[in-house]
Amino acid sequence: MRVHIVTPANRGLYGVQLEQMHRQRREVFIDRLGWSEIDTGEELERDEFDTPDTFYLLLLGDIGEVLGSARLLPTWKPHLFETTLGDFLSDRERARGAGIWEVSRWIAGPGFDPKTDKVCRALMFAALAEFGLHFGATAVVASVDETFMAYFKEIGVPIETLGGPVSYGQGQGYAVRCEVSVAALRGIRALMKLKSPAAFSAGAFLDDRANDPVRWAILDRLLEVENRSHLESLLGAIHMLTEAALGPVEPETVRRRA
């Protein structure tokens, strides 16, 4: 398993996985958790913040299947705390600004195997910290429920409460902020017993070889594949080969201070 960082530059590689992510979000947040306020009746759960410029974390299995995901929005652009979740905040200034990213639609694990879910959570938390360092974030903010608050305490991740509790129909919600730092990443890796980076980005591959005829030939062939399961298998193989060739994401700050 590896967490892939999906950016505006590389999202073309993840069309199948992004559709699977939106379907999974429908299953988790609407069908399972009953978030009726976001139910549009569509098979895929998405809103106005899911745009071609949105960043995502996708936890992918061995054949490219989606096991977890998260949406990442820069708070200097439109985001949930600025609009629909504004009531959660009692300290708005600490929840927005340059270097602060908002995390939403968090899913970590398929939900049917506690052992697998624990590994998925560990990878997602580490990948979030790696993403933050890689993109120069100073902090991340999110709306979480009481279960998530308890999990933060369990794994020892320090958080700052910016608002709540607020009743939202399915329970109590809190606005929280987590600082991004090399020390925090090292602490998460040590606690979760992770010996290597959790996140991988194919951005360099796409950007550096934008006009590579081999790359376009591969993409053209993929477009000809009509069987979804075959396409997922092929994409999984490409992800594994790309990762083997380029290696995972290791934030420069971590490498420099190691």
Name the residue among 6, 3, 18 with its Cα closest to residue 203: 6
pLDDT for 205:
41
User: 3-class SS at 163?
Assistant: strand
Q: Could you write out the DSSP letters of every residue in 22-87?
A: HHHHIIIIIIIT--GGG--S-SS---TT--TT-EEEEEE-TTS-EEEEEEEEETTS--GGGTTTGG
Structure tokens of 19? 């559709």
Please give the pLDDT value at position 202: 74
Whole-angstrom Cα distance, residue 258 to residue 253?
8
DSSP label at residue 10: T
Q: Which residue has the tokens 């959790």?
A: 198
* pLDDT one-digit tens code per residue, 76-108: 999 988 887 777 787 788 888 999 999 999 998
Provide the residue count of the chain: 258
Under DSSP, is residue 113 helix (H, G, I), strand (E, B) or coil? coil
- Band (pLDDT 50/70/90 cuts) for residue 221 is low
Of residues 137 and 113, more confidence is placed in 137
pTM for the predicted model, two decimal places: 0.77
C-alpha distances out from residue 149 to 27, 85, 125, 179, 187, Å? 23, 17, 14, 16, 18
Instruction: Give the three-state DSSP class for 246.
Output: helix
For the chain, what is the total number of helices (H) and then of strands (E)?
A: 8, 8
pLDDT for residue 209 is more than 50:
no
How much is the CA Rg of the chain, to the nearest whole Å? 18
Structural domains in the chain, sorted by start: 2-257 (3.40.630.30)
Residue 205 and residue 5 in contact, taking contact as beta carbons nearer than 8 Å: no
**pLDDT of 99:** 92
Which range of 23-27, 149-153, 164-168 scores highest in mean pLDDT? It is: 23-27
β strands within the chain, DSSP E = 2-6, 55-60, 66-74, 100-108, 139-145, 160-167, 172-179, 199-200
Model confidence at 216, pLDDT cuts 50, 70, 90, reads very low
Cα atoms found within 13 Å of the Cα of residue 69, Cβ hemisphere only: 24
